[in-house]
Structure 1
Amino acid sequence: MATPCITSTAVQRYLITAIIIAVLCAGLATLAFYVPALSWIILIALVPLLVALWNTPLKPLNAVIMTWLVATFIHACINAPLMPTIIALRDMPRFSLPVAVLVSIGAWLGLAIYQGAFTAPIGIISVVVRRRWGILLAVIAVACAWTLSEYVRSLGVMGYLWGCLAYALLPQLPLLQIAEWTGTYGLVFAIVLVNGLVAAGISYCMQGKCNDTARMRAWAMLIIAGLSVATWYVTGLALMVKWEDELNSAKLWHVIRVGIVQGNVPRWQKRSVHMVTRLLNLHLKLTHKALRSDVELIIWSESALPIPLNEWSYMMRQLQRTATGNDVDMLIGALESQRVENVTAGQTVYRYYNACYALNRTGQWMGTYRKIRLVPFGEFVPLRKRLPFMEFFAALPQDFTHGNSIKPLRVSSGRFGIAICFDSLFPWIARMEAHQGAGALIIITNDEWFWGSWMAKHHADIAILRAIENRRYLMRAANTGISRIIDPLGRVQKELQLSERGILIGTVALRKDASQTIYSRHGDWVIVCTALLLIGLIIGARLSSHRTQLERGT
């Protein structure tokens, strides 16, 4: 009868330890994300987890559970503002307050559990490599595995990159600069690598009971971690100096003057068709105010006109008159409809897109960019047609359709890479635009639905990384803010704050030549390298284990 008691006690002790480690890691990561001055803490936020994985005799399943718990707690903390956001938006799917509270808690927990699952396999990878190859290769294996997990969770229509470790470093501008080589996932690798080196130093000391040899190894790991961060930081400063010199070279850049319109329109005013003319007049009034500053390009935010603009011919003519009468290019956020004939069913259906229209100063419509990454349960409901009960969660009577083409929009003032709202979280979209010759990047968004200011601020800061990755000026037009102009070094030149109605006038430079960063040209090469390296380590560990078993058998 003693064995079950001991087993039960051991399980309880393990669960308590796992929860304590999860709370500690999540607390450190939360400080890094929410407090800009403490963003550097992300470089040690995973240390408690790694120390536990490498210094306790965990079974593979226990290692997986512990890693999953840590990742789940981190995502739960970072996505906490999602709950009041859903409650505030309860009028869209017409939830009562109690139902909205239950749905918000369920969505928050479900998202955290789902996102944590992508990181869970790192536990077993870490333990296996550690036992077969030692701590140093385990550090590399964990950095590779965590980088791949961030990439994998961004894939598919349910892909979600909010809470990516790299985004915690957004306030640390020098540390972001290597993204022009590595992209976002290279930053993730560097962050986890530093965490691993610090954890390795602590592990050496714990395993050697602080004897001289262990102490020397521990200090060596900590010094390597410190030198790595210092080199990383100094390299970033050097890159900033280099690009500052390039920005001052007039022959490389074509300078234009832009005007960003921030209408600050609450969502309830966008629901009625009768309000559309008023919204048009509001944005035109702000546009004419911007035109007094001799701008060459006007940018309106996402869904500035919440109707299928291509169906409203009189509005299109009015916009054309504005463009030709003032010799200005315009980029306009609005919906787009597409009529599709279903020959088999013998009926006509309409698809709707969240789009950005390009209007040339000659009055010619130059095409549209259709939003690629739609917000799940906001702009579409997964499995809505196959599972009738999913209709309960629908915020819209009909789903939007995903765009399927990524190419810059060309107007008289240049070629611009467009991203709409959720698109900006995914680095490959802006990268493909730059690769196809975009001279500058533009994000149009509507962050009015975010609860509080942190999510809107964090969403705006992510644009900094898109500018650095591709070394392009970036203009951000947000309905309720934050609208910004960001230079290729990631520095915010000008901005309009939240809940402010007005115009943002500034000067941006478009790249004249076809110069591209390593990331713009080659994409996520870091993912390929980390995948190959991790596969090699896992295969090597497996072969080593097999050889050991054969030797013991012999």
Structure 2
Amino acid sequence: MQPLFERLPPWASALVALLAGGAATLAFAPVSWFLAAPLALAVWFALLPGATPRQATVLGYAFGLGFFGVGVTWIFNSLLVFGQAPLVVASLITVLFVLVMAAYPALLAGLAARFLPLARPAGMLALAGGLVLMELARSWLFSGFPWLLFGHTVLDTPLQSWLPLVGELGAGLVVALLAVAVVTVFRPGQRWLGAGLAGMLVIASVALGLVRWVEPGGAPISVAMVQGNIDQARKWDADGIEYSLGIYEDLTHEAGGVDLVVWPETAIPALYVEVQGPLGQLAQSLAEHDGELLVGVFDHQAAGRHVYNSVVNVTTGAGYNKRQLVPFGEYIPLRGQLDWLDRLLAIPMSDLSPGEGDGRMQIAGQMAGVSICYESAYSRHIRAALPEAGFLVNVSNDAWFGDSLAPAQHLQIARVRAVEAGRPMIRATNTGISALIDADGRLLERSGLFTREVVTGSVQPRQGVTPATATGMGPAVLAALVLLMAGAAIRRRAG
């Protein structure tokens, strides 16, 4: 069978790859059409056999342009609206980011065409392993961008059962293997291999779904998440602190008697010491009904002049400082060399210091794993609090993203973390989407987007350890390496 690349002119192959990359984003929230992921990958994979390394690199770059060009358009909104960057600057930075991210699939495709027998099943399997290593690199290099990983798409499908076993990278490998199955089904002489691979993956997924890795531990916790929906610009006005305090205090009084009230990330645009008095009074009134108040606020260390993005349990005084800061949002990398960029962006509190610790905090009489906003995209930060933590708390400020794809994508990532860890998550945001997520990733309660409301419900803490928590990304990376080395070895023997 003639390779697909050889049957199409180069420009047509690049266009197909570009469209496939864009279509792959349909598998992610808010659309969540799971089959778009393996089918889009299958189209891209099918283009690579017969291509030279240079041609394959172009095809990989085209796929990446489509994928990131559609999937991360929210970056433009963050820069233009929240960062108040000029239109030209926001556009250029967004385009540059997409161009850089597209280099990952370009490099993967080029190396695969050079070192793997892509016309054989072993070569395709190795390519699936390469996709996992590509996502690993993207999650780590230059502080990492673990967003739109293919393992996130398995939520609400039978393949979700892979998440607590091998984590998001392992689930991504399963998605890539499904894509390989689709490709081989259409190859003469390989059809039964493709059908068999797909069948085995589905059967294994269903069987894994019968396994229960964790069990209830501790009493349920009643929760109220306060979503103030305060405009970013209004928040930083001269009277922004008093205005924000007034709204959140009023909403908190509406919450009623619950075990825990959670305010979102930087709910109050002030240092904790500046608002400790009124917050303490509110916490005292909640304590009369055995309730605790958890607040997202800035904190500081006077000795080192460090300012942190923090979560403070006002009732007990315990605190947590965000470890994984957002480049160009909470700090400027290489500030000495990129000072000019800092002057173009008007982002408040953009010179923060990273915190330390593992995120564990005693909340409502039980141990919790606390994270802030973007940290939910990093599985290693969530795992650090486990297995001691019986539930997870994530506070976020998704107002950065505006009315874009990102709030739904961020919620999808939070749900993945809950399934991986086998822990429920309390997720409080400024503008939505706030949610109570159970240990199986189901949404128990959720808010609207850009609504002012209080979301109430309860979560059941869990105990036990999922394999993904115990071993992290190790098994997925090992499996990917084995597939990759086996494919490369077959290519070398074939000459």
Query: Same-fold call, TM > 0.5?
Result: yes
Asked if structure 2 preserves the Cα contact closer than 8 Å seen for 1:157 and 1:374, the reply is no
Task: Give the Å deviation of 1:125.
Answer: 3.8
Structure 1 range deviating more: 473-482 or 318-327:
318-327
| Residue equivalent to 2:328 | 377
Corresponding residue number in structure 2 for 1:466? 417
Judge conservation of contact 1:198–1:221 (CA < 8 Å) in 2: no
What secondary structure sits across from 1:113 in the alignment? helix
Quote the residue 1:180 is aligned against: 164
Partner of 1:529: 478
Counterpart of 1:299, as a letter, is: V
CA shift for structure 1 position 387: 3.3
Q: Using the alignment, how far apart are the partners of 1:310 and 1:543 within structure 2?
A: 65
Counterparts of 1:542 and 1:192 in 2: how far apart (Å)?
Answer: 20
Asked whether the equivalents of residues 261 and 298 of structure 1 are also in contact (C-alpha less than 8 Å), the reply is yes
What secondary structure, in the 3-state scheme, does the structure 1 residue paired with 2:457 have?
strand
Q: Is the 8 A contact 2:25 2:36 kept in 1?
A: no
Equivalent of 2:80 in 83, 87, 104 = 87
Give distance in 1, aligned partners of 2:423 and 2:232. 32
The aligned residue for residue 359 of structure 1 is 314
Equivalent residue runs for 1:407-422 within 5 Å: 407-422=359-374
1:78 to 71, 85, 88: 71
Equivalent position amino acid for 2:139 in 1: S
Letter in 1 for 2:458: T
Secondary structure at the aligned position of 1:327 is classed as coil
**In percent, how many aligned pairs have the same letter?**
24
- The within-5 A match list for 1:93-104 is 93=84, 95=85, 99-100=86-87, 102-104=88-90
Paired residues of 2:21 and 2:62 also in contact (CA < 8 A): no
Residue 453 of structure 1 deviates from its aligned partner by 4.8
- Residue in structure 2 matching 1:430, options 377, 382, 388: 382
Could you tell me how far 1:149 is from its partner in structure 2? Answer: 0.9
Alpha-carbon offset, residue 223 of structure 1:
1.4
**Residues of 2 paired with 1:471 and 1:397: CA distance?**
34
Matched, 1:123 2:95: no
Q: Which secondary structure state, in structure 2, belongs to the residue aligned with residue 272 of structure 1?
A: coil
What per-residue deviation string (whole Å, max 9, x for no partner) do you get for residues 365-384 of structure 1? 12x22222222222222222
Residue 154 of structure 2 corresponds to residue 154 of structure 1: no
Instruction: Measure the CA separation in 1 of the matches of 2:317 and 2:98.
Output: 43
Residue from 11, 14, 17 that aligns with 1:19: 14
Seen in structure 2, the aligned counterparts of structure 1 residues 525 and 14 have a Cα distance that, compared at 3 Å, is same
Pairing 1:255–2:220 present: yes
Q: CA deviation at 1:237?
A: 4.2
Q: CA deviation at 1:232?
A: 4.7
Distance 1:374 1:468, change over 3 A: same
Shift of 1:158: 3.9
C-alpha distance in 1, partners of 2:341/2:431?
A: 30
Between the aligned partners of 2:153 and 2:93, the Cα distance in structure 1 is 23
Q: Does 1:455 align with 2:441?
A: no
Q: Give the length in aligned residue pairs.
A: 489
For 1:307, the equivalent position in structure 2 comes to 270
Name which one, 1 or 2, has greater alpha-carbon Rg.
Answer: 1
Q: Report the CA distance shift for 1:36/1:327 in structure 2 as closer, same or farther (over 3 A).
A: same
Q: Which has the higher contact order (CA 8 A, sep 6+)?
A: 2
Match of 2:153 in 1: 168
Residue 468 of structure 2 corresponds to residue 519 of structure 1: yes
What is the CA-CA distance between 1:419 and the residue it aligns to? 1.4
Asked whether the equivalents of residues 377 and 393 of structure 1 are also in contact (C-alpha less than 8 Å), the reply is no
One-letter amino acid of the counterpart of residue 317, structure 2: W
Q: Higher helix proportion, which one?
A: 1
Deviation at 1:66, TM superposition (A): 1.7
Cα distance per residue 1:282-306 (max 9 Å; x no partner): 212222222x3x3111111111111
Are residue 280 (structure 1) and residue 245 (structure 2) matched?
yes
Gapped runs of 5+ residues in structure 1? Answer: 1-9, 206-213, 342-349, 549-554
Cα offset for 1:138? Answer: 1.1
Letter in 2 for 1:65: V
Match of 2:450 in 1: 499
CA contact under 8 A between 1:336 and 1:353: conserved in structure 2? yes
Which runs of no fewer than 5 residues in structure 2 stay unpaired? none
Q: What is the alpha-carbon root mean square deviation over aligned residues?
A: 2.7
Distance 1:295 1:190, change over 3 A: same
| 1:433-478, Cα deviation, whole Å (9 max, x unpaired) | 223x111001111112323253212211221111110111111111
